[in-house]
Chain A
Amino acid sequence: DVKVTQSSRYLVKRTGEKVFLECVQDMDHENMFWYRQDPGLGLRLIYFSYDVKMKEKGDIPEGYSVSREKKERFSLILESASTNQTSMYLCASSHKRGGAGYEQYFGPGTRLTVT
């Protein structure tokens, strides 16, 4: 069974704190993704990674950084949390193939509240 896990389901942090969100997949997937999901705005891609130590900016990278030291683990870092980063964060992974066919498998999500 495919499995993507995220370190926390719910997280409450204060403005200015450094926040780490961890994601682990056990499917030996090359690609990993971080999204945030907000009402009315849908899923927005923050960062993604094709391989270990590789990262690329998505549509909304400002205020975030990522780390991928091992193939199975992809971390999202909020360097200095702000209230506008309160959101649902979703991690996903997929195989890397030539052409098309990239179904992504998602974790359960982390609901982050920044006060």
Chain B
Amino acid sequence: SQELEQSPQSLIVQEGKNLTINCTSSKTLYGLYWYKQKYGEGLIFLMMLQKGGEEKSHEKITAKLDEKKQQSSLHITASQPSHAGIYLCGADVLYNQGGKLIFGQGTELSVKP
């Protein structure tokens, strides 16, 4: 099984709808990173969460970290076609081990106009 599970694997939403993507770790999280990837391109760093209860926002995207549940959620409000892509979570589960991250499988988001 995956050390970092993302759900759902894919999502199709109507433009303007809200959506949530979850990322759950089987190990203690020392840092959680959200990325967005457009098909065939590199990953774009969105935001990093480190402390339990931490919440960060960037435009209409909000990410939260639940340290006790070893889980993070990414919430998009009023989705737009520009939000379409693959969202990946990455996690630092090896404290002070030089920056190796593990990644989830990704969630493919499509936004229908």
Closest 4 CB pairs of A and B: A102-B99, A100-B30, A106-B42, A106-B43
Contacts A/B (CB < 8 Å), 25 sampled: A33-B100, A50-B98, A90-B42, A94-B99, A96-B98, A99-B96, A100-B50, A100-B95, A101-B48, A101-B92, A102-B31, A102-B92, A102-B98, A102-B99, A102-B101, A103-B33, A104-B33, A104-B101, A106-B43, A106-B45, A107-B42, A108-B42, A109-B40, A109-B42, A111-B40
Check B105–A42 contact: CB distance below 8 A: yes
A-B contact count (CB 8 A): 67
Please, which residues of chain A bring their CB within 8 A of the CB of B88? 42-43
Interface residues on B, range: 20 to 34
A-binding residues in B (CB < 8 A): 30-31, 33, 35, 40-45, 48, 50, 88, 90, 92, 95-96, 98-101, 103-106
Whether a CB of chain B sits under 8 angstroms from the CB of A48 is yes
Whether a CB of chain B sits under 8 angstroms from the CB of A105 is yes
Please, which residues of chain B bring their CB within 8 A of the CB of A90? 42-43
Tell me the minimal C-beta distance from A49 to chain B in angstroms.
Answer: 10
Please name the residue on chain A nearest to B93 by beta carbon: A100
Tell me the minimal C-beta distance from A21 to chain B in angstroms.
Answer: 13
Please, which residues of chain A bring their CB within 8 A of the CB of B101? 102, 104
Chain A residues 61-103 with CB under 8 Å of chain B are 88, 90, 92, 94-103
Report how many residues on chain A are interfacial, defined by Cβ distance under 8 Å. 30
Cα distance A39–B88 when bound, in Å?
A: 13
Cα distance A83–B95 when bound, in Å?
A: 36
Please, which residues of chain A bring their CB within 8 A of the CB of B43? 90, 92, 106
Cα distance A42–B23 when bound, in Å?
A: 14
Chain A CB within 10 Å, residue with most, of B30, B41, B99: B99
Please, which residues of chain B bring their CB within 8 A of the CB of A42? 88, 103-106
Whether a CB of chain B sits under 8 angstroms from the CB of A45 is yes
